[in-house]
Amino acid sequence: MHHCDVLIVGGGLAGLSAALQLAERFQVTLLAKRELEVSSSQWAQGGIAAVLGGGDSFDAHVRDTLVAGGMLNDLPATRFVVEHGPGAIDWLRAQGVPFDTDAGTLHLTREGGHSARRIAHVADATGAAIQRTLLERARNHPRISLVENHVAIDLITNRHMDIGSPPRCWGVYALNATNGRVETFAAAHTILATGGAGKVYRYTTNPDTASGDGIAMAWRSGCRVANMEFIQFHPTCLYHPKAKSFLISEAVRGEGGVLRLPDGTRFMPAHDARAELAPRDVVARAIDFEMKKHGLDCVYLDITHKGEAFIRQHFPTIYQRCLDLGIDMAREPIPVVPAVHFTCGGVLTDLSGRTDLAGLYAIGEVAYTGLHGANRLASNSLLECVVFGTAAAAAIGAAEQPAVLVPRPWDESRVVDADEQVVVSHNWDELRRLMWNYVGIVRTDKRLERAAHRIELLRSEVHDFYANFRVGRDLIELRNLLQVAELIVRSARLRHESRGLHYSLDWPQTAAPAAPTILVP
């Protein structure tokens, strides 16, 4: 049994931002599923968007976000995040993040969908630099306890406390992956910063930790979720058998990279006037169309015309990774395919990260704030993490601090060790394949119906397995992925239009007015 003032589940940028600000007043425990270096934030290449340069404006950043988001964005939330952008950069710089500079001022790059240069970055490994800096500060803070290799299973609510209304979150049960025991973490306030659900698909740029845990746990505890049909496919994931879902940053296209067919033909201008600088949903669909039309395994991203010196200066990480795999991007184009990159929907929150359940907050990719609408604009994700990490910390600081009660311990009295794991491994593989084939870049009513039917059968099998055997990491994640898959398909079947990342051959027109898909448990 562990007690703290604030429990944070997830060790990426959102969780660390909240932890460092909360630790000024509270005792904070931060749980990470694996090592703290493993998160989507760590893998983020491009940078963090904010209005920082002359000739740019909050209105322009808001407008770009709305256009990319298919006008489904929540305007107050979008303006809130954009206007807090410069402050987020200032806070990160104060923590010691070494953003690239040019003659003493921040060097700003441009990415697809942006009308101005507004991406602050650390070469092409921004996420890693930010994560490294904040982790060092968190490890040295006396009021932050970092707990690695603990997999959250479920939220602790009133039903685990033998108390009545009003409903509230009191922490989480988590599996200690080192010794296989389930531990109880009790807290007055709990923050979900668990990231997205990319592992529900066969191909993704996300780390193995992205199994939708926070979304599934919050849904099971009575929280609404929204816009789960909007799964962003990054257009340019490196296509190589040994690449392990390595993405090629948006900034490569922002700095002049062009997409070509194997014969060298450039194809993006035929799909959109913005060509390679179109938003991600447009570029991903164009690549998907060309691959299917020509029977291709991949297309090619060509930036050879910029020269080796430019490429090595601006994209040292990508250059070296490609070179390690036998691809010299200074002299030959990079083979790329789309892959799942970001979950635009999530747990419904307000502008302080509060969910429907008292004492529970959600920040970062796990949350739906309304910022991203039907498609996330490049480099708004790291910005969202810092802005809402700050907002949640402020809300908790201003909230009433209830006494932490003692939950019932985890009950394993009626379960046994699993005699075989084939059910888990087989169902995991089948789920990811059916989501890729039936709920991918282009959808139809029939495909979604098939997916819904098969997911329900898989959920039934896994529920029986969960009820009878001791939990392990793979079972916990599969249970959550199946719940998230069901939410994605249910949301997609409710949207009778094509907008942003949701493109249906049966509903090709965009409907009016724009409205989010909100699911209620």
Which residues are annotated as catalytic?
Answer: 280
Burial of 417 (C-beta count, 10 Å sphere; 0-12/13-18/19+): exposed
Tokens 């789960």: give the residue.
228
Tokens 């298919």: give the residue.
70
Describe the crossing of helices 445-468 and 473-494 by its angle, rounded to 10 degrees: 150
CA distances in angstroms from 155 to 8, 178, 506, listed in the order given: 12, 21, 39
DSSP string, 12-52: SHHHHHHHHHHTTTS-EEEE-SS-TT-SHHHH--S-EE---
Distance between CA atoms of residues 337 and 343, nearest Å: 18
Judge whether 186 and 160 are in contact, CB under 8 Å: no
Please give the helix or strand (H or E) that residue 393 lies within, else none. Answer: helix 380-398
Of all residues in the chain, what percent are helix, strand and coil, respectively (each to 5)?
40, 20, 40
Please give the helix or strand (H or E) that residue 418 lies within, else none. Answer: none
Distance between CA atoms of residues 494 and 347, nearest Å: 18
The tokens of 457 are what? 């059968």
E strands within 216-266? 225-226, 231-238, 258-260
Judge whether 407 and 184 are in contact, CB under 8 Å: yes
The tokens of 88 are what? 């987020």
The tokens of 502 are what? 């949701």
